[in-house]
Amino acid sequence: MYCSNNKIIFDDSTLNSIKKHAIKTYPKECCGVLLGTFNEYAKVVNMSLELENIADTNSKHLEYKIDTKEILNIDAIASKNKLDIVGFYHSHPDCSSEMSIFDIKNSFSIISNVILSVSNSKIIDIASWQISEDKTVTIKEIIQSL
């Protein structure tokens, strides 16, 4: 089941975990996956997994890239825990939590795209986005913490 509302719900420990990950990798981009469930009201995050960013660190543009082997591992972990991939997260070092053109081009519809803005090793903002299937519309989601 996929939710029709634009809301993502985190427990405090999972939200704190992705914040720590973003701070730990600053000034580079972190990336990770959010596992949980879909209901008619929201995406509910039950766990996050830190992933290695294999993007070219010499690139002029900050970006993240996930190894396809890790995606297969994530799918196995999700299945074992009876969870779905409800989103991915990554950081924007010294930049806003708005989706970049790269983010829009490389994101999936239905799931959440959580972006953490980090500056001077501090979280400035967190935003979650859902993108239309044709990648022309981004919808900001409500982030709720339990």
pLDDT in tens, 53-70: 888 666 555 677 888 888
To which residue do tokens 């993240």 refer? Answer: 64
To which residue do tokens 């990554």 refer? Answer: 90
Q: How far is CA 101 from CA 67, 135, 138, in A?
A: 21, 10, 11
Q: Which CATH number fits domain 7-145: 3.40.50.920, 2.30.30.30, 3.30.70.20, 3.40.140.10?
A: 3.40.140.10
% of the chain beyond a pLDDT of 90: 70
Query: Helix, strand, coil proportions of the chain in percent (round to 5)?
Result: 25, 40, 40
Dihedral (CA of 74, 109, 32, 101) sign: positive
d(CA 144, CA 81): 23
Give the distance, in angstroms, between the CA of residue 5 and the centroid of all CA atoms in the same chain.
Answer: 18
pLDDT in tens, 42-52: 999 999 999 98
% of the chain beyond a pLDDT of 70: 92
What lies within 8 Å, CB to CB, of 92 at 6+ separation is 29, 62, 100, 115, 116, 117, 118
Domain spans in the chain, listed from the N-terminal domain onward: 7-145
Contact of 58 with 3, CB cutoff 8 Å = no
Q: What pTM was estimated for this model as a whole?
A: 0.92
Reported as type and span, the H/E element at residue 130 is: strand 122-131
- The pLDDT of residue 110 is 86
